[in-house]
Amino acid sequence: MYRFLLTPRWWGINVFVVLAIPFCIFMGSWQLGKFEDRVDTHQEAESRPAPGEQVAAPLEQLLPVDQETSGRPATATGVYGKQFLVPDRELDGRNGSYVLTLLKTDGGRTLPVVRGWLASGKPAPAAPDGQVTVTGALQASETSGTDGVHTAGGLPSGQLGMISAASLVNLVPDDVYDGWVTLTAADSGLVPVPASVPEGSGLDLKAFQNLGYTGEWFVFAAFVVFMWFRLLRREAEAARDRALGLEPEPV
């Protein structure tokens, strides 16, 4: 009755099943591992002091920016230079701009400094003159997936869509740090911009997406097994009916 399993059609079905089930289990396990990694990272972050509560350290000691150093208070000394507005940034439900001023540090590199948030329509205050020492929360460079960034271009002169070394490379001649700081105490006339939580450090939507994908891959594996048994049963019943003369032989 089951000689049909040796036909080329069923050889193809069996090979597909043999390959599909391990693949689905592997992908489900991989997604589960990603979720567990995020849980472990979240637990480690919870066990450490909050980044903003730690002692400020020189900028160079905290680079490169990672999940441990993101949000840490960093200090740098230099002279303010070119200034930009970063538009369409919300704070407490209000629309405005970040005031981003480039700090030429004593080491020769340039650090983007968000001096604060400014409501739409208001003029940005000038940066302090002379040498200054700034203290602010260290942040990783923004990407196209960061909330509020402009990636399409077309902004007026003096505005910047994304805070990153890549977006500044053609605007300033200096070597720009791959990271930026938001001042702990904003300059006069500005509102402090709170530090953002580093990506992948908490149980956010992406973490639960990993968990959801885990379930989907295991369901796919179970569905493959279910469909194989269903096809097998249907084919066996058809073979039995043909043997009893209840169904004509296939041409």
Per-residue pLDDT of the chain (251 residues; tens, 9 = 90+): 577 777 888 888 889 999 999 999 999 999 998 888 877 776 666 655 555 567 889 999 999 988 788 889 999 999 999 999 999 999 988 999 999 999 999 989 999 999 999 998 888 899 999 999 999 999 999 988 777 787 666 788 889 999 999 889 888 888 999 999 999 988 888 999 998 876 655 556 677 888 888 999 999 999 999 999 998 888 887 777 666 776 555 54
Give yes or no for a contact between 146 and 61, defined as CB atoms under 8 angstroms apart.
no
Q: Which of 157, 218, 163, 236 is nearest to 28 (CA)?
A: 218
Cα distance between residue 121 and residue 11, in whole Å: 71
What's the pLDDT score for residue 174? 86
* Residue 173 preceded by cis peptide, ω within 30: no
Q: Which of 54, 56, 78, 72 is nearest to 176 (CA)?
A: 78
Give yes or no for a contact between 142 and 164, defined as CB atoms under 8 angstroms apart.
yes
Sign of torsion, CA 220 224 225 231?
Answer: positive
What's the pLDDT score for residue 113? 96
Number of alpha carbons in the 13 Å side-chain half-sphere of residue 237: 6
Q: Which tokens go with 57?
A: 């350290």
Cα distance between residue 101 and residue 183, in whole Å: 11
What's the pLDDT score for residue 7? 81
Q: Which of 97, 102, 110 is nearest to 189 (CA)?
A: 97
What's the pLDDT score for residue 18? 92
What's the pLDDT score for residue 133? 95
Give yes or no for a contact between 68 and 159, defined as CB atoms under 8 angstroms apart.
no
Q: Which of 118, 37, 32, 113 is nearest to 75 (CA)?
A: 113
Start-to-end C-alpha separation, the chain: 18
For helices 8-47 and 205-243, angle between their N-to-C axes, nearest 10 degrees: 160
Is residue 202 helix, strand or coil?
coil
